[in-house]
Amino acid sequence: MNIYEIDITNFRNYRHANFRPTSFNILHGNNAQGKSNFIEAIYYLGNGISYRTSQSRDLINWDSDYFRLEAHCTNDQGTITIKSLLDANEKKIFIDGIKINRLSELFKNISVCIFEPDDLALVKGNPSKRRSFLDREIVTIQPLYYDLLKKYNNVNHQRNTLLKFVRRDKNLISQLEDWTNIYVKLAYKIVVKRIEFLKKLKPFLDYYLKKITQDKENIDIIYEIGQIGEKTVDYNSYLDKMKYYKNEEIEKGNSLFGPHRDDFNVYINGYNVKKYGSQGQQRTVALCLKLAYLEIAKQELGEYPILLLDDVMSELDMDRRIVLTNTIHDRIQTFITTTDLDMIRGLVKKSTILQINEGKVINII
């Protein structure tokens, strides 16, 4: 997957920018000039949302009432044009001129992966970060998983609302059971998808950790189901666990068991990295998780996703920078932001360097 031309209009601090990317693109400039905004525009084109704000209106240039993004891409099927518009608070996405109605249709045509400083806290952060990592990466290789998540979240919302009413009116118990049956079927599918993804991730994760640590460390990754940390699941046991929480859920008016409460833990040489690992080990695992995902994407999709690295290099030591650049250079189309060219330029043989200044793009080399 590659972008060979991108056009940005009225997005963040960009009035207009047009650029023809190469394989490895370094976006250089001082802080607050628009480097991350450029990365965000590419992410939006590939995902239909921002990774920095939930308010799409914030993405529109302050002197305008709309933005337009357009990318011309190549994938293993040929060429494709993706256009995203936000006009009068209505979001529109077009693929080859045809408006799409579901984001899963977008994910079938373009795959974009981002790595940002917050991702380095993936291992030691709260469980929601790890759940988001799983869901975001699974969606890129299995677009229909997005629809599954959307259905689950809607059912979970409806079920939580009903739980609050059941607490006051026990005549609604049978209705709650109907919603619970729907809920469990969706929840179970999500859990199975996540466990399958982690199983595929494990050998690549092990490969990259050994590469960084020179074969000194072994790694394992385990999905934790619910508050009690179960590690295996079948449909009947999952349904039984829902029944176990039934009375407590009615009392609290909230779903207490489901994929929205699950987690995964990473172990190095048998100990939990989140609890006992050093900051260096935690960051190494976070980097390995991203690199392992790229390999799964290649395996599942037949090509690598477009990779966005937003100010990550400054958070990595030299050894990890070398592993990262050696992995992606000449294999994966990459866009990387930095305030320090010397930090990156010596690590890659060939790159396009762009100077970003107040929302303007200047091609240096």
**Interval 70-125: pLDDT, tens:** 999 998 889 999 999 998 778 999 999 999 999 999 999 999 999 998 898 899 99
The set of residues, in sequence order, having a beta carbon less than 8 Å from that of 23 and lying 6+ positions away, is 2, 329, 330, 333, 334, 350
Domain boundary among 302, 325, 347: 302
Residue 116 lies in a domain: no
Residue 139 lies in a domain: yes
- Co-location of 151 and 254 in the same domain: yes
**Token pair recorded at residue 343:** 């930090």
Residue 238 lies in a domain: yes
**Token pair recorded at residue 27:** 């976006």
Average pLDDT, the chain: 92
Amino acid at 365: I
| Count of Cβ atoms closer than 10 Å to residue 35 Cβ | 25
Closest by alpha carbon to 290, among 39, 120, 124? 120
- Co-location of 60 and 45 in the same domain: yes
- Co-location of 128 and 182 in the same domain: yes
- Co-location of 309 and 293 in the same domain: no
- Co-location of 54 and 88 in the same domain: yes
Q: Three-state DSSP class for 215?
A: coil
Closest by alpha carbon to 339, among 41, 118, 113, 33? 33
How many residues appear in the chain? 365
CB 17 within 8 A of CB 27: no
CATH code of the domain containing 337 = 3.40.50.300
pTM, whole model, 2 decimals? 0.92
Tell me: pLDDT of 144 over 70. yes
Count: domains in the chain: 2
The pLDDT score that the predictor gives to residue 232 is 62
- pLDDT per position as a tens digit, 260-278: 999 999 999 999 999 999 9
- The span from the CA of 122 to the CA of 115, in Å, is 11
What's the domain range around 271?
121-302
The set of residues, in sequence order, having a beta carbon less than 8 Å from that of 57 and lying 6+ positions away, is 86, 89
Residue 177 lies in a domain: yes
Tell me: pLDDT of 250 over 70. yes
Cα 302 to chain center, whole Å?
19
CATH code of the domain containing 265 = 1.20.1050.90
Domain boundary among 287, 302, 317: 302
- Co-location of 265 and 312 in the same domain: no
CB 96 within 8 A of CB 81: yes
Domain boundary among 278, 302, 326: 302
| Count of Cβ atoms closer than 10 Å to residue 202 Cβ | 15
Q: Three-state DSSP class for 231?
A: coil
- Co-location of 9 and 21 in the same domain: yes
Q: What angle do CA 339, 291, 12 make, to 5 degrees?
A: 40
In angstroms, what CA-CA distances link 305 with 23, 117, 187?
12, 19, 28
Residue 125 lies in a domain: yes
Rg (CA), the chain: 22
